[in-house]
Structure 1
Amino acid sequence: MSVTFRRSGAAAIVEMDNPPVNAIGLAMRQGLQAVLDRLPGETGVQRVILTGAGRAFAAGGDAREFDGPAVAPHLNDIVNQIEACDIPWIAAINGVALGGGCELALACRYRIARPGVQIGLPEVGLGVVPGSGGTQRLPRLIGMAAALEMIPTGKPVSAERAEQLGLIDGIADDPVEVALHLDEGSLELAVPVRDLPRPEHRPDQLAQARALAASKMAQQIAPQRAIDLIEGTATRPMVEGLAEERDTFLTLRKGDQARALRHIFFAERAAKAPDWIKADPQPFDHIAVVGGGTMGAGIAYALLNAGLRVTLLEMDAGGVQRARDNVEKIIGQSLKRGLIDQSGAEDRRANFASSADYADAASCGLAIEAAFESIEVKREVFAKLEAALAPEAVLATNTSYLDLDEIARSVAEPSRVLGLHFFAPAHIMKLLEIVKGAQSSERALATGFALGKRLRKIPVLAGVCDGFIGNRILARYREAADTVFMDASTPWDIDEAMVNFGYAMGPYEAQDLSGLDIAHANRRRQDATRDPARRYIPIADRMVELGKLGRKTGAGWYRYPGGNGKVEDPIVADLALEEAHFAKITRTEYSEAEIRDRLLLAMINEAADILHEGIAASARDIDLVTVFGYGFPRWRGGLMHFADTWGVPEILARLRKLEQEDPVVWKPSPLLIDCAEKGRTLAQV
């Protein structure tokens, strides 16, 4: 049963029960409708208490139903019936109340929540607006300003904040018990939200909300439509607003953005250890991190945030002090931003130690190496870890490009070695590539996935190759951008094309942020193995020779005068002209669409090769990597989901055309050819 009904004297207790989060699917809607149909025949019922089983009140509609037609009974009709019911309903919010769960609560006459529970309307995150009255009732209940803070951003509020806003009427450890004994006077005074006055029309607040949505959720339709609906509550009868809201919801949920966002939503929740990993993870309450630079300190802080004990290892006393300072800097930043309080800061400091003596990490069940990207350095580190830690301890490297199998050969038992590729800043970025070496054991991999879960990161299994999944696609993206730059364009035109596509920043501004010297060092590592038939663009090398390393030097692909915003640099544009002249290339001009398509086709083709080679297990995993690690617009569903919207035959035709100008770089992936011949999508691989 998705909904249970029981009597407690003059009260009827209705419990929603659809584990784990009481998603409001068809069966639950049918159950709620059955309760509404039953109530007129129930003698002596003076109040109905609506609550949830387990840890949730109700966490919204079942998004799995969104791809099909809307099936009656509809939640908006149920919500309207609850609000219009002669018998007052009380929401006993025992756990999270999101989306439709929040809308059910808004329909009740009175709302009581357990301390700390989250209440909100996050539908814009799935590319839709609330569809059961949320945009119409919330502004009437808490005012337009507060509703604009919640609905277009999708951010929930705690019970404590909800009480301050007037969203709930009280907080109690046992909301059902309080609802059972709530005095009749309080219920009689409670006014249905539909009868509350319209909120004041505030053009200034609306303009601010639109600007924020345009900045934080650029090109997404749902946030702006939600603002339209909220604005309408100030001037329209509620019945008209409810009708428009429902129509908007049904229209948006059929759109490309909603489908893409649902794809990523389900992909994120499905990210876990593959079924073939049967081993138990190695316990890791105490973890060693080797290297206290920016990455190592970020990893250490991510571990501290998860309540783990961390020993950060460095080479000498100077390195130890720098490591401490780097971790303390992150603690200070978190305090300043209100992410932790003073007590939380002290807890993290108490769990942290730094040392130059590997023996201090002897009790660690897991070590994560984040030292300098040199195979010699990493071999030395792994030899020290092997000598200091127990034989069952798992040893991981955070290398971005180096050969994991070569690193694993540094120890007597390579099966204990795996890759844990964090993304900077490691305490913020959600993606974690878990790299399986040729001999990585199931226990080592299980440990990596268990750590990802503990850190609340999105784990993706990757095989061994240069750059794994994400950096390999990134390298091809940058190569394609450099070719377009040299042959036809400028960094700022290329960046603009990709920002207009949906990236937060283009490839050149992103390089300025990370530093051009990092990519330069990687190119030098690849010099000996680079395919001589593959075209090489030397402009970035010229930039490093000129000392233009990015923001940290005040100039890279852009100039940053006074540390302020970026400005175009004509010297950079001239470098392309010079190199094209040296290479005897006649420059042309690409439109924004041509720039965008070349870069996207390059990434898609590379990703198809990655899938073909088994480096990635599925197209879905590549989508997770590109969205959560590399800024691919979430509302496009990830690189491979987007590719399927183009269609494999169209992609292959475009690659065949580009192959005529460069048969090495644009050679179509065998996977794309196979999919085209068999009529398969990339998602079906």
Structure 2
Amino acid sequence: MTQAHYETQGDVAVITMDNPPVNGLGHGLRKGIVEGLRRALADDSVKAIVLTGKGKAFSGGADIREFNTPAMSAQPGLNTVFEMIENSTKPVVAAIHSVAMGGGLELALGCHFRVCAPGAQIALPEVKLGLLPGGGGTQRLPRVLPFELALNMVVQGFAVPSDKLKDYKIFDAFIEGDLMAGAVDFARKVVAEKRGLPLVRNLKVDYPDAEGYLAVARAAVKAASPRLPAPLNCLEAVAASTELPFDQGLKREWQLFIELMESPESRALRHIFFGERAAAKIPDVPADTPTREIRSAAVIGAGTMGGGIAMNFANAGIPVTVLEMKQEALDKGIGIIRKNYENSAKRGRIKPEDVEKRMGLITPTLSYDDIGNADIVVEAVFEDMAVKETVFRKLDEVMKQGAILASNTSTLDVDQIAALTKRPQDVIGTHFFSPANVMRLLEIVRGAKTGKDVLATTMKLAGKIRKLGVVAGVCDGFIGNRMINQYSRQAGYMIEEGATPQQVDRAIEKWGFAMGPFRMGDLAGNDVGWYIRKRHYAEHPDAKFPRFADKICELGRFGQKTGAGYYKYEAGKRDAIPDPLVEEMLVRHRAELGITPRKLSDDEIVHRLLFALVNEGAQILEEGIALRASDIDMIYLTGYGFPMHRGGPMLYADMYGLYNVVNRIEDFAARAAKTPNGDADCWKPAPLLLQLAAEGKPFNA
């Protein structure tokens, strides 16, 4: 079936792009456009051509389904389409509506004329994929918009409503009402007035002090994006429009595009783009699975986590009732929510009137009787099975039939929680990340008896409250915390062997992490990990663990909230200050273990941390706890501060080479076997990792 429909309206040919959902410029559509142009040019009765898009977009750009496939580079390419339009003996009018982005905007800029419906979104967002517009966008856009605006649109990738571009050369007319009727009339008018066939390429970039402005812009871009090459390459491509003739500018644009296309940073960002979309797909839960209506919600607990979860519902316009056991705790929690909203209003993130609007959606209560009619209830109480048992038995009594019973557990057995009720099909894990009103990740834990409609509803709800929902199976810690446990263990072992907390943090932060393991522990509260470790000690009495973390906690050094942890903190400040007391404690601890401290390189520190994640991730994949490797990456990118330009632990392993990963793991195991506190068993390579390495395959196929 053709992806470009051809029809004539009198003496005007209309080519309509039809490649849902956003008329991506895949090979089939490019071929259809070329065929339509040839047909119109061969018909003497056709005097002009209108190009438009069916449905919800003029065109959203490249067809992402063709990325990394031969179809992406198959002829006719986009430049072939441009050449046909520019060489056309008949005027070609782009009729733009809704969305013209990326290659779609470049296509419109290649036409002789552009007419636009109000409210269309105009953008060249390729920088967000670690790329730059490779179809002439960096050369044409500065010729039809003010130079600084064009440069910022390309470097930052933001969209501009078409209405704000009315005064510039980018559009020849705005069409109110019927876009197609207006476009056809415009095309006839062009022919009648014998306007000729103007090309954007023939316009000059009008910016007298480009050199001085670009020097300042380069410094700003380097400072804002030190780890990403795409913004600077975008700037250099746009700069070429002021320095080179058009065709040479196109060559320069293409050179810079190819540099980015082959870069690990672009591979990482493209992986994220596809990974976020893949996360929504659950193999045994079809897209058309019926979902339950979520018109109201309830949250059990008004603490930091409960309050943040409640804010998510209110932000999405969903009324939410917050339940606490004591008035003092309830008042404190609601007060913190209000303060958060007021601070957001002061910073301009929400309107002042939104504070009361959102607070009006939050109802505090001390009675379970007030939550029974909610469509979903999220338990956000202390991470203790006995506490959760009390809550879920009560929820089973009071909640209406059909309500979803969700637990914000971060490690506990969701199946055990579900078994506390008479409706395990309605129970699901919803692991929010702190602060819950800010962090984008929502780890959705599917129990053995969780209904498919409950899972589909929760995934849909994640989108509504602006979270990235990622499905996990049931195990201790699910995906994220099960892996971070191994990461933290290696951090603990390394300070016992001779590193300092600040050296470990500094090494992984220099590599790109937002925060190292010890600063992260101090921020989250070291007592949280201590509580979980004590459970692990009881469950696995023969397992080896680094024990220095326990000594820190035994002194009440729980981190920022107590003014001391692995670091010390000044009142009212969050700066982590190295503490000589911790170093003295480490010296004594190493002596007790019989360890002669050694110097660890930053490379060893970084890769022991990373490959501890990767090896556990491979085990999680093999067990089916994670549906796909990219889901693991999305969890770490959106919930654990993993650097975006690295693409996640599993993608990093792919790029490092799984054969090389196995070799490094075996080296770490050999060293651990010779260390008094070492645990060589924790470096046993996961069978899936060994298999893929032997076959020369990656985690992310």
Answer yes or no: same fold by TM over 0.5: yes
**Equivalent of 2:416 in 406, 410, 416:** 406
Say whether 1:59 aligns with 2:60. yes
Displacement of 1:475: 1.8
- The answer as to whether partners of 2:496 and 2:548 remain within 8 angstroms in 1 is no
Q: Partner of 2:228 in structure 1? A: 220
Say whether 1:673 aligns with 2:673. no
Displacement of 1:390: 1.1
Say whether 1:176 aligns with 2:180. yes
- The answer as to whether partners of 2:50 and 2:183 remain within 8 angstroms in 1 is yes
Partner Cα separation in structure 2 for residue 408 and residue 471 of structure 1:
20
Displacement of 1:434: 1.4
**Equivalent of 2:439 in 426, 429, 434:** 429
- Alignment RMSD: 3.1
Say whether 1:75 aligns with 2:78. yes
Say whether 1:297 aligns with 2:301. no
Say whether 1:22 aligns with 2:23. yes
The correspondence of residues 117-266 of structure 1 with structure 2, limited to 5 A, is: 117-163=120-166, 167-168=170-171, 170=174, 172=176, 174-182=178-186, 184=190, 188=195, 192-200=199-207, 201-202=209-210, 205-206=213-214, 209-210=217-218, 213-214=221-222, 217-266=225-274
Q: How many residues align?
A: 684
Q: In the superposition, relative to structure 1, how do residues 675 and 250 fare at CA in structure 2: closer, same or farther (>3 Å)?
A: closer
Q: In the superposition, relative to structure 1, how do residues 222 and 667 fare at CA in structure 2: closer, same or farther (>3 Å)?
A: same
Displacement of 1:17: 0.8
- The answer as to whether partners of 2:527 and 2:558 remain within 8 angstroms in 1 is no
Q: In the superposition, relative to structure 1, how do residues 533 and 359 fare at CA in structure 2: closer, same or farther (>3 Å)?
A: closer
Amino acid at match of 2:511: F
- Comparing 114-123 with 213-222, greater Cα deviation is found at 213-222
Partner Cα separation in structure 2 for residue 144 and residue 569 of structure 1:
52
- The answer as to whether partners of 1:478 and 1:507 remain within 8 angstroms in 2 is yes
Q: Sequence identity, in percent? A: 37
- Comparing 61-70 with 604-613, greater Cα deviation is found at 61-70
Partner Cα separation in structure 1 for residue 228 and residue 180 of structure 2:
39
Q: In the superposition, relative to structure 1, how do residues 160 and 511 fare at CA in structure 2: closer, same or farther (>3 Å)?
A: farther
- The answer as to whether partners of 1:323 and 1:354 remain within 8 angstroms in 2 is no
- Comparing 165-174 with 383-392, greater Cα deviation is found at 165-174
Cα shift readout 1:463-493 (whole Å, capped 9, x = no counterpart): 2222110111112112212222332323333
Displacement of 1:27: 1.3
Partner Cα separation in structure 2 for residue 234 and residue 567 of structure 1:
49
- Comparing 530-539 with 413-422, greater Cα deviation is found at 530-539
- The answer as to whether partners of 1:400 and 1:468 remain within 8 angstroms in 2 is yes
- Comparing 415-424 with 349-358, greater Cα deviation is found at 349-358
Say whether 1:4 aligns with 2:5. yes
Say whether 1:93 aligns with 2:103. no
- Comparing 188-197 with 504-513, greater Cα deviation is found at 188-197
Partner Cα separation in structure 1 for residue 541 and residue 213 of structure 2:
57
- Comparing 291-300 with 323-332, greater Cα deviation is found at 323-332
Say whether 1:479 aligns with 2:463. no
3-state SS in 1 of match to 2:59: strand
Q: In the superposition, relative to structure 1, how do residues 355 and 173 fare at CA in structure 2: closer, same or farther (>3 Å)?
A: farther
**Equivalent of 2:477 in 467, 480, 483:** 467
- The answer as to whether partners of 1:15 and 1:51 remain within 8 angstroms in 2 is yes
- The answer as to whether partners of 1:516 and 1:550 remain within 8 angstroms in 2 is no
- The answer as to whether partners of 1:94 and 1:174 remain within 8 angstroms in 2 is no
Partner Cα separation in structure 1 for residue 361 and residue 428 of structure 2:
25
Displacement of 1:101: 0.8
Displacement of 1:42: 3.6
Q: In the superposition, relative to structure 1, how do residues 429 and 86 fare at CA in structure 2: closer, same or farther (>3 Å)?
A: farther
Displacement of 1:683: 3.6
Q: In the superposition, relative to structure 1, how do residues 232 and 676 fare at CA in structure 2: closer, same or farther (>3 Å)?
A: closer
Q: In the superposition, relative to structure 1, how do residues 652 and 187 fare at CA in structure 2: closer, same or farther (>3 Å)?
A: farther
Q: In the superposition, relative to structure 1, how do residues 2 and 485 fare at CA in structure 2: closer, same or farther (>3 Å)?
A: same
Unpaired runs of at least 5, structure 1: none
- The answer as to whether partners of 1:314 and 1:323 remain within 8 angstroms in 2 is no
Q: In the superposition, relative to structure 1, how do residues 227 and 531 fare at CA in structure 2: closer, same or farther (>3 Å)?
A: farther
- Comparing 232-241 with 43-52, greater Cα deviation is found at 43-52
Unpaired runs of at least 5, structure 2: 673-678
Partner Cα separation in structure 2 for residue 589 and residue 333 of structure 1:
45
Displacement of 1:98: 1.5
Cα shift readout 1:630-651 (whole Å, capped 9, x = no counterpart): 2223333322222222333322
- The answer as to whether partners of 1:268 and 1:458 remain within 8 angstroms in 2 is yes
Displacement of 1:460: 2.0
Amino acid at match of 2:272: I
- The answer as to whether partners of 1:623 and 1:639 remain within 8 angstroms in 2 is yes
- The answer as to whether partners of 1:115 and 1:171 remain within 8 angstroms in 2 is yes
3-state SS in 2 of match to 1:315: coil
Q: Partner of 1:274 in structure 2? A: 282
Displacement of 1:242: 0.7
Partner Cα separation in structure 1 for residue 168 and residue 579 of structure 2:
49
Amino acid at match of 1:96: V
Say whether 1:591 aligns with 2:595. no
Partner Cα separation in structure 1 for residue 259 and residue 62 of structure 2:
16
Say whether 1:420 aligns with 2:420. no
3-state SS in 1 of match to 2:320: strand
Q: In the superposition, relative to structure 1, how do residues 273 and 18 fare at CA in structure 2: closer, same or farther (>3 Å)?
A: closer
Displacement of 1:78: 2.2
Partner Cα separation in structure 1 for residue 175 and residue 534 of structure 2:
61
Partner Cα separation in structure 2 for residue 528 and residue 65 of structure 1:
51
TM-score, length of structure 2 as denominator length: 0.89
3-state SS in 2 of match to 1:67: coil
3-state SS in 2 of match to 1:27: helix
3-state SS in 1 of match to 2:13: strand
Amino acid at match of 2:457: T
Amino acid at match of 2:408: N
- Comparing 416-425 with 71-80, greater Cα deviation is found at 71-80
3-state SS in 2 of match to 1:396: strand
Partner Cα separation in structure 2 for residue 363 and residue 435 of structure 1:
24
Q: Partner of 2:546 in structure 1? A: 536
Say whether 1:382 aligns with 2:392. yes
3-state SS in 1 of match to 2:442: strand
The correspondence of residues 644-663 of structure 1 with structure 2, limited to 5 A, is: 644-660=654-670, 661=672, 662-663=679-680
Cα shift readout 1:125-156 (whole Å, capped 9, x = no counterpart): 22221101111122232233223322222222
Partner Cα separation in structure 2 for residue 635 and residue 222 of structure 1:
11
Amino acid at match of 1:4: H
Displacement of 1:24: 0.4
**Equivalent of 1:284 in 288, 291, 294:** 294
Displacement of 1:245: 1.0
3-state SS in 2 of match to 1:234: helix
Displacement of 1:602: 0.9
Displacement of 1:224: 1.7
- The answer as to whether partners of 1:516 and 1:544 remain within 8 angstroms in 2 is no
Amino acid at match of 1:78: V
- Comparing 146-155 with 567-576, greater Cα deviation is found at 567-576
TM-score, length of structure 1 as denominator length: 0.91
Displacement of 1:508: 3.1
Q: In the superposition, relative to structure 1, how do residues 597 and 86 fare at CA in structure 2: closer, same or farther (>3 Å)?
A: same
Cα shift readout 1:370-397 (whole Å, capped 9, x = no counterpart): 1222323222222232222113212000
- Comparing 359-368 with 493-502, greater Cα deviation is found at 493-502
